[in-house]
């Protein structure tokens, strides 16, 4: 059996958010501590992708793969489009 070392940590949380989260997590049989550990592990695995909407992730992926982007326009054409 793997031993997991735990450490007590103090966090300053919005009281209302904390209470709402605890109630919702309780429905899933989770504690705030367990959820925090799960989210930290997920964050370390996925980095900031965890915090980004899927649409934003798609834009980053498209940019990295040079997909779905128009040919750059002149500044004058850009100004005409935004008017």
3-state secondary structure the chain: CCCCCCCCCCCCCCHHHHHHHHHHHHHCCCCHHHHHHHHHHHHHHHHHHHHCCHHHHHHHHHHHCCCCCCCCCCHHHHHHHHC
Structure confidence at residue 26 (pLDDT)? 96
Residue % of the chain over a pLDDT of 70:
87
Which position has the higher pLDDT, 43 or 15?
A: 15
Which position has the higher pLDDT, 53 or 6?
A: 6
- pLDDT confidence band for 76 (50 / 70 / 90): confident
Structure confidence at residue 72 (pLDDT)? 62
């Amino acid at each position: 059996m793997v031993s997991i070392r735990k450490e007590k940590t103090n966090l300053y949380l919005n009281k209302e958010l904390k209470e709402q989260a605890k109630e919702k997590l309780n429905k899933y049989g989770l504690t705030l501590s367990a959820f925090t550990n799960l989210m930290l592990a997920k964050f370390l695995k996925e980095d900031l992708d965890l915090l980004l909407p899927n649409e934003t992730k798609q834009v980053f992926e498209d940019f990295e793969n040079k997909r779905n982007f128009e040919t750059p326009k002149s500044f004058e054409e850009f100004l005409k489009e935004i008017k």
